[in-house]
Structure 1
Amino acid sequence: MIEFYNRYKKIAWSVLIIIGAPLLVESYFLIIEAVISPNDLFKSDFYHSFFVLIRLKRLIILFLLAVLGTGLFNRFGKETIFRYLYQYRYRLGALFLFGCVLFEIHGSSVYYWENYFQGSKHFETLIGISRSIRSDEWAVNTPMMISQYFNGAAPFPYFSETIRGALTDVFIIYGQPVLNIVEIFRPFHWGYLLLSPAKGLSFFWIGRILGLFFVSFELAMMLGKENKRLAVIYGLLVTWAPIVQWWFAVNGLVEMLILGQLAMIMVDRYFKTRRYGLRFLYALIFLICAGGYVLTFYPAWQIPLAYVFLALLIGIVYENRENIALNWKDLAIIAGLTLAFVCAMGYILVMSYDTILLVMDTVYPGARFETGGGQLYRYFLYPGNLFFVTSRELSFANTCELATFFDFFPAGIILALWVLVIEKKRDPYLILFSISFFILSAFCLVSWPHWLASISLLSHAQPSRVFLAIGFLNLLLLIRALTLIETAFPKWVKGGVAIVTALVISVGSMIAYQGYLDVKMFVLVLLILTFVFYLILSWRKIKMQEIMLGITILIVFVSGMFINPIVNGLDVILDQPLIEMIKETAEISDALWIVDSEAGAGYPLNNLPIMAGAATINSTNVYPNLDRWRLLDPDRSEEEVYNRYAHITINLSNRDEETRFILDSADLITIRLNTRDLEKLEVGYVLSQRDLSGFSNEDVSFIPLKNANGFTIYQLKYAIN
């Protein structure tokens, strides 16, 4: 009877999962894609409209995955499946990467470009939506990458002739793939050098997702004493953290987390082996990680994260103190690789020295000096991140700036202090993580004296950016504390602490979000946090660890996994008639281009021609071309406007008015350019959505050449003086 009941129960659960899971997941995808709203789920006619709105092919794939997954679990059992997943994780990861690259799968919001090509066919994402707010990815970084393939002189130059319409260092700023030995420090660019743009982009996206998960998993295995459940939880919470996914393709954040963690793993493994072939390999990987970390060139995150990695490094050295026995072989390895590292960094410094000086001397971003303070509310932001993927508007900030790690604060620091103070375990990792946590928190909470901010180097990082490292530390504190804690808390203590802590965080989140969280969101957050905090306090029970893993998967699925869309290919750009038209024109002549716009519509159109290899003056200037703009501003009266990183809108004018520069925002300027100044800039072609024929005068003639997708190319002919 019992056997029959268990068999019936298994069948019932299988049927429920096979039918219910795909429908729930498809409903969530439709909410992300704004096809339905969350409130529709509670309407009586929802199911009628749902079966009209679903994407049938996707639903069929979800059903097949549910059938496959359920069948495997029923046939082999979860323990066997998890054992094989762990044993063959890298082979499966490589196979997954190969499949994604083959089908050109990536997470870029590049499909948003469809909105700018009139008459374009519709390109549909596989899952999710292209997000306009990630314009620094799809409108700047990705177009610059594509431009490297079609640079006029040769593909993948260190100094591009396409971006800015002048020699531009594309290696050190907004680092792009270059065909140079120093690209060894950027392994996720290697796909670009070997593959087509779409496949290279796929390698870049999927490779970094897998890389971040695997190195996070391995670091957690090291800190968590081989607890695989804990390692998977940490890997998921880092890889699909909202802050990681909202900033996934720019500013080098993913690279910092991958390279920083991998470097620490290499140090630990170096000390744990006596085989010098392996020691050389680990040291070489450490060198590549160190170089790649330096070359992310974004101090606002590099410096606070360096506090975390320094704590890890000291802890690893201390933990391996009995294994540190260096001889001449070690010294030879360290000295040789250090010399190679210094030579490589010296070469880059020589190549990019002028660029670095130019950037440091700009008005924006320039050389910042921050003293900290004012970030208390950020400790309470992570619950609201649950809703960013499905909701569109925040009244006081954008989702990228409010994205955080889902770190379950204050669980990590409280449990760490419990282990250190109450259980009296002098764990070096917990001590060092706690010190870093309190130092960085102090900078985020109160303003420091200038001298202290300066010597700490945190003066180079905005406190809002420093908070990233605090969230990361919260996760490290949590996994280390859960590994060491021995106290078995009574149920009433666990329940009471969980409820009170969840209530404090939920109320704090309501206040921090200034009305963004409504009552339903508040109740949902309160329930989830209460449950999670209870599970954390019950961690010693294996069943609670399994439930915590399930809750973590649900949290990352909702809050981070589909921030970026899942799409394939770059046909939305490369198959447009306009791109082909620009490419054909640029191959005939290497004359400079500008993109003309009006009513502030210049960005992102200013980056359109570079994707076809056309050298474009007003493509995003990652650093200013001062000599060029001074031709229009000989007395330098407007240098504060154009001496910056800038998206540049050019509005042509043939009226009797002087050319002038207008600052629209910190990184956006408009140039009201009189046509008589076009010759000063040596402009040969203008791309415009408006009719410029009437702009011809005795100085310059606008000759329409071709038109496509709502744009016309004009060739300029200047009067002979």
Structure 2
Amino acid sequence: MIRFDRRTNWTLGIITGLFLLMVLGKMHYVSLPIWNTLIPDGSPTTRGLVSGTPKQIRMDDYAVGAPWIISNVNNGMTDTNEGLGGLKTPLLVAPVKHIVTIFKPGNWGYMLLDAERGYAWGYDFSPYVLLMGSFLFFMLITRSQYLLSLTGALALLLSSGTVWWSFIPSGMVGYCGLTAVTAVYLMREKTPWKMALLAFGLVYLAIVYLLLLYPPYQVPMSYLYMLVLGGFMYNERKRLFPLPFWAIKLGLLVVALAICGALLYPFYKDVQETLVAASKTVYPGQRSESGGSGFIANWYSEYYSWITNYQSYPKSWLNICEMSHYLTFAPVILPLTVVLFVQRKRIDWMLAGAALFTVAMAIYVEYGWPKWLAEKTLVSMSPSRRAQIPLGVGSILLTVVYLNAIRDYVRQVPVWVNAAAIAAILGFMIYTAWVNVNDSEGIITSSQTFLPVLFFAAMNALLLFTIQSKYRITLFCIGLILFLLPNLGANPLSKGLTPITDHLLYRAVKPLVDQNPDARWIVNGSQYVTYLVTATGAKQITGVKYLPERKQVFKVLDPTMKRDSAYNRYAHVTFQTYINPQQPDTTILAQQFEDGYIIAGDPCSPKFKKLNVKYMLYDHAPQIPYEVRCMKKAVELGSMTIYERVD
């Protein structure tokens, strides 16, 4: 079990203290200050920026997530909000005053604190959970190997696949670790009140994990932790079994499940229709794949991640987020694991579980699984480009478990065996360099790979249990953290929400929304303007929609659902003027991208009057006076004008 000595307790306290300091200081890592340059309003470009550089690529955070959250906070955190989408979209994507918030601790900040600190709480909570959950999980499975456990947690936090996705995977990783630790402690506990607490904790953590609602990561990651935890329990079966008070513990789990189920039933009833509608969208709909599309970059690209950056990368690698994953030592660890089992004449089932997951998921990503297997295991819900994240997490777990397995083991072999092994490792690293040079469209050159090849050849050589090294784990941990440490600069350190809430456009629109909250809005022009209008809480027809608003908006715009395939999707929605004199009420709904469509029509159409579209914001001058014949100017903001319908 975990040794909660002074060092361990101090570590947990420091992690918690840093989280609380970040929240109280309103600090987070979202690129909100990018708004100062995307739509400049005369304010300093550093407004809301503490350090670092905002990244435009992270628009899911600053242009979609932040406006959705601010919008729902402005609307009283209700479970319906047209600015976000149809039905009860906020229950899935925003903080709400609802019983389900008990099971969404990332949203507690909005209930306890002001909006800016609530926002900081929400974004800082995921890395906090990762550090706490992973550190404790590694302490459990390594029998309290402090340095190895802390390094494993930091490696998961600082890896490219975590930081460049704004720590989205981190909450899932952390909750998996916490759930596993709670399960083991429940198995060994003998005190009644502690058994009850652990039983409820286990059910609670499992529900929190499920409500993160991102199967592409959750399904493979669940298998990973079940395999590693299952291997740990089998290794420790003599210590864990027979289970004391197993009947009482089972009963407590049933009671906990019943109570949590009763609390969640209202949420299920409220969100059921929304979930069904989301599963029936054209995009993303119900994903079903068999893998095999390969890595966005390649499995070894992380070795050379210092050479690329968010502005310089091969076009075939899409972008810095999609190409990022995790360092892997699996190609060296996997054959050494087989040799280790043969030499020791026994199988470490925890190591075997981590190895099995790594091999299976690597095959899934690179070559694909039979369709029936992918569907039966639900891994079909994880496209290859998303499965590479759980695979990367598995690679880190495999490395920690392997290092723990060889911690006190050395196998004496002839010198030529070690020389051959080191030569093989060097050859492997040269191969990875060749792959990346040929795959990078000239971004990575041969000379640039020299130092990474030497560095990772040395790191991989430390994995050889045939070479005696007193400081094997210390050197490996130091090398790993030093390599990953620059990833701290991937995201900026930002403060508050002022790049949005103090923006001139936001402050111009917000009073009109407050005066007439039932009026609908349309932005005629830039999608970025729509994002800021969404943040005000406006009932906007344009903007980013998680689901189409069928019952109100599209019942008028497309009563026969002729263009359903264009708008039945998660989408960025824009508007442009289209006037047909022969058919003045014509409205065109056209898909532009997988996640975007356009509404084109006469701004003075009777349809928009019926929808109570009171305000139309132009980011440009109307093409002809006729298109604003039914409106008057309400507010002028430089090149932008807010028109109010008066007919």
**The two structures share one fold, judged by TM-score above 0.5:** yes
The residue identity in structure 1 corresponding to 2:134 is S
The yes-or-no answer on 1:280 pairing with 2:196 is yes
Match of 1:612 in 2: 536
Aligned pairs for 1:500-579 (under 5 A) are 500-537=427-464, 541-558=469-486, 560-579=487-506
Q: Indicate the SS of the match to 1:158.
A: coil
The yes-or-no answer on 1:201 pairing with 2:119 is yes
Deviation of 1:337 (Å)? 0.7
Q: Does the 8 Å CA contact 2:505/2:532 hold for their aligned counterparts? A: no
Structure 2 Cα separation of the partners of residues 176 and 404 of structure 1: 27
Aligned pairs for 1:684-695 (under 5 A) are 684-692=614-622, 694-695=624-625
Q: Indicate the SS of the match to 2:539.
A: coil
RMSD: 2.5
The residue identity in structure 2 corresponding to 1:118 is D
Q: Sort the Cα spacing of 1:595 and 1:337 in 2 relative to 1 into closer, same or farther, 3 A.
A: same
Q: Sort the Cα spacing of 1:352 and 1:87 in 2 relative to 1 into closer, same or farther, 3 A.
A: closer
Q: 1:271 aligns with which of 166, 187, 196?
A: 187
Aligned pairs for 1:649-660 (under 5 A) are 649-654=574-579, 656=581, 658-660=586-588
Structure 1 Cα separation of the partners of residues 638 and 40 of structure 2: 5
Structure 2 Cα separation of the partners of residues 674 and 249 of structure 1: 43
Match of 1:322 in 2: 241
Structure 2 Cα separation of the partners of residues 707 and 167 of structure 1: 34
Structure 2 Cα separation of the partners of residues 98 and 453 of structure 1: 42
The residue identity in structure 1 corresponding to 2:347 is R
Aligned pairs for 1:326-345 (under 5 A) are 326-345=245-264
Q: Sort the Cα spacing of 1:501 and 1:280 in 2 relative to 1 into closer, same or farther, 3 A.
A: farther
Structure 2 Cα separation of the partners of residues 391 and 323 of structure 1: 57
* Residue-by-residue CA offset, 1:279-334 (whole Å, 9 max, x unaligned): 22222222222112211222211111121122134234433442513344323311
The residue identity in structure 2 corresponding to 1:668 is G
Q: Indicate the SS of the match to 2:209.
A: helix
Deviation of 1:102 (Å)? 2.4
Match of 1:359 in 2: 278
Q: Does the 8 Å CA contact 1:638/1:661 hold for their aligned counterparts? A: yes
Q: Indicate the SS of the match to 2:471.
A: helix
Q: Sort the Cα spacing of 1:84 and 1:511 in 2 relative to 1 into closer, same or farther, 3 A.
A: farther
**Structure 1: which 5+ residue stretches go unaligned?**
1-82
Structure 1 Cα separation of the partners of residues 472 and 356 of structure 2: 30
Match of 1:119 in 2: 42
Match of 1:395 in 2: 315
Structure 1 Cα separation of the partners of residues 639 and 337 of structure 2: 61
Q: Sort the Cα spacing of 1:488 and 1:214 in 2 relative to 1 into closer, same or farther, 3 A.
A: farther
The residue identity in structure 2 corresponding to 1:702 is M
Q: 1:445 aligns with which of 366, 370, 375?
A: 366
Structure 1 Cα separation of the partners of residues 601 and 609 of structure 2: 11
Structure 2 Cα separation of the partners of residues 269 and 387 of structure 1: 44
Match of 2:558 in 1: 633
Structure 2 Cα separation of the partners of residues 457 and 390 of structure 1: 33
Q: Indicate the SS of the match to 1:232.
A: helix
Match of 1:648 in 2: 573
The yes-or-no answer on 1:624 pairing with 2:548 is yes
Match of 2:591 in 1: 663
The yes-or-no answer on 1:681 pairing with 2:631 is no
Structure 2 Cα separation of the partners of residues 459 and 593 of structure 1: 40
* Residue-by-residue CA offset, 1:44-72 (whole Å, 9 max, x unaligned): xxxxxxxxxxxxxxxxxxxxxxxxxxxxx
The yes-or-no answer on 1:706 pairing with 2:628 is no
Q: Does the 8 Å CA contact 1:661/1:672 hold for their aligned counterparts? A: yes
Q: Sort the Cα spacing of 1:695 and 1:678 in 2 relative to 1 into closer, same or farther, 3 A.
A: farther
Deviation of 1:482 (Å)? 1.4
Structure 1 Cα separation of the partners of residues 489 and 58 of structure 2: 14
Q: Sort the Cα spacing of 1:672 and 1:716 in 2 relative to 1 into closer, same or farther, 3 A.
A: same
Q: Does the 8 Å CA contact 2:520/2:611 hold for their aligned counterparts? A: no
Match of 2:156 in 1: 238
**Structure 2: which 5+ residue stretches go unaligned?**
none
Match of 2:305 in 1: 385
Q: Does the 8 Å CA contact 2:99/2:267 hold for their aligned counterparts? A: no
Q: 1:257 aligns with which of 164, 167, 173?
A: 173
| TM-score using structure 1 length | 0.81
Structure 1 Cα separation of the partners of residues 307 and 70 of structure 2: 33
User: How many residues are paired up?
Assistant: 623
Q: 1:456 aligns with which of 377, 390, 401?
A: 377
Q: Does the 8 Å CA contact 2:51/2:492 hold for their aligned counterparts? A: yes
Instruction: Tell me whether 486-495 or 505-514 shows the greater mean CA deviation.
Output: 486-495
Higher RCO, Cα 8 Å, sep 6+:
2
Deviation of 1:411 (Å)? 3.2
Match of 1:110 in 2: 32
Q: Does the 8 Å CA contact 1:412/1:475 hold for their aligned counterparts? A: no
Identity of aligned residues (%): 21
Q: 1:222 aligns with which of 131, 140, 155?
A: 140
Deviation of 1:594 (Å)? 3.0
* Residue-by-residue CA offset, 1:238-274 (whole Å, 9 max, x unaligned): 0111111122255xx2221111111011111212322
| TM-score using structure 2 length | 0.90
Q: Sort the Cα spacing of 1:100 and 1:284 in 2 relative to 1 into closer, same or farther, 3 A.
A: same
* Residue-by-residue CA offset, 1:214-234 (whole Å, 9 max, x unaligned): 221111112222221211221
Match of 1:10 in 2: none
Instruction: Tell me whether 119-128 or 263-272 shows the greater mean CA deviation.
Output: 119-128
* Residue-by-residue CA offset, 1:596-625 (whole Å, 9 max, x unaligned): 244xx32x3222122222221222110122
Aligned pairs for 1:93-242 (under 5 A) are 93-114=15-36, 115-123=38-46, 125-151=49-75, 155-164=76-85, 167-172=87-92, 175-242=93-160
Q: Does the 8 Å CA contact 2:200/2:253 hold for their aligned counterparts? A: no
Q: Does the 8 Å CA contact 2:300/2:328 hold for their aligned counterparts? A: no
Q: Does the 8 Å CA contact 1:389/1:562 hold for their aligned counterparts? A: no
Structure 1 Cα separation of the partners of residues 118 and 83 of structure 2: 20
* Residue-by-residue CA offset, 1:185-214 (whole Å, 9 max, x unaligned): 221211122122221222223332222112
Match of 1:672 in 2: 600
Instruction: Tell me whether 658-667 or 486-495 shows the greater mean CA deviation.
Output: 486-495
* Residue-by-residue CA offset, 1:391-425 (whole Å, 9 max, x unaligned): 43431111111110123332332333332233333
Q: Indicate the SS of the match to 1:567.
A: strand
Structure 1 Cα separation of the partners of residues 468 and 323 of structure 2: 33
Structure 2 Cα separation of the partners of residues 338 and 444 of structure 1: 35
The yes-or-no answer on 1:591 pairing with 2:513 is no
The residue identity in structure 2 corresponding to 1:307 is Y
Instruction: Tell me whether 496-505 or 300-309 shows the greater mean CA deviation.
Output: 496-505
Q: Does the 8 Å CA contact 2:224/2:394 hold for their aligned counterparts? A: yes
Q: Sort the Cα spacing of 1:445 and 1:162 in 2 relative to 1 into closer, same or farther, 3 A.
A: closer
* Residue-by-residue CA offset, 1:517-572 (whole Å, 9 max, x unaligned): 223432232122112112333686343332222222221112x2221111212211
The residue identity in structure 1 corresponding to 2:254 is A
Q: Indicate the SS of the match to 2:614.
A: strand
Q: Indicate the SS of the match to 1:383.
A: helix
Q: Sort the Cα spacing of 1:717 and 1:394 in 2 relative to 1 into closer, same or farther, 3 A.
A: farther
Structure 1 Cα separation of the partners of residues 642 and 101 of structure 2: 36
Structure 1 Cα separation of the partners of residues 206 and 181 of structure 2: 13
Structure 1 Cα separation of the partners of residues 195 and 448 of structure 2: 51
Q: Does the 8 Å CA contact 2:287/2:381 hold for their aligned counterparts? A: yes
Q: Indicate the SS of the match to 2:282.
A: coil
